[in-house]
Chain A
C-alpha cells in the first residue's frame, strides 16, 4: 500500500533563499508524481507532474525531481518570494492502481517566506 510522507512539515525562510521540499513514497512502482500548491482554505493548484520515466520537470523557479529507486521526489524553489507562502503537497499514483489511477497524498509542507 502506497504511503507518502513529506518533510519538513513546516519551513520558514527569508525572502530570496533557495529551498528544497522533500517527498518520499513507499511503493517505487509509481505511474507519476504530482506537486500541488494549496493556499489556506483554498483549492489545489497543480504545479508539476513527473512521469515515471522522467527524472525532473521545471516550471519557472520550480524544479521537481524524481528518484524511483530511492522512493523520493524533491521540489526545489529558487529565489523564494513571499508569494510562495503556501502548503505544498506531493501526491503519487501507483502503477498497480488500475485504470482510475487515484492520487495518494502526503500531508504537505507549510512554507512561509518572510519579507
Chain B
C-alpha cells in the first residue's frame, strides 16, 4: 500500500543551525502539507503546496521556513536558523482528493 515516508525519524540540532526535513509523498497525490505538533499541544498547520507553489501558510510559517519540491518526488521543509521553540514533531501529508495521508513524522529536537 502506498505510504508517505519521512526522513529522518529523529533529528537533534543546535540552536541557530539549518535543518531540512524530507518527505516522499504518495506518487499520484497533488496536495502536500506540513504540520507540526509541539509536545502536549494540538497538531498545527504550517503550509500547503499545490501545483509547485505554496497555496497557504500559517502565521507559524515565517521567513525562517521554506518548502521545496525539487525533483517531483521529494517534498522538503527547511528551517534556516532553528530556535528552541521549533522543537516538535513535524508531519508531512499528501492527498489526491479528499483523504489526507500522513507520514510517521520527524521528531526535531533543538538544543
Contacts and interface: CB of A to CB of B under 8 A. Distances in A.
Contacts of B100: 34, 46, 103
The interface residues of chain A, by DSSP majority, are classed as strand
A34 B33 CA distance: 16
A107 B42 CA distance: 5
A100 B48 contact: yes
A109 B102 CA distance: 19
Contacts of A32: 98
B51 to A, nearest CB: 10
A71 interface: no
A6 B43 CA distance: 13
A106 B103 CA distance: 19
Given A32-B98, A100-B55, A102-B56, A43 B91 contact: yes
Nearest to A36: B102
Interface residues of B, number: 24
A41 interface: yes
Contacts of A46: 99-102
Contacts of A99: 50, 55
Given A44-B91, A49-B98, A89 B55 contact: no
A41 B107 CA distance: 8
B25 interface: no
Contacts of B55: 98-100
A99 B48 CA distance: 10
B26 to A, nearest CB: 12
B98 A102 contact: no
A44 B102 contact: yes
Nearest to B92: A43
A25 interface: no
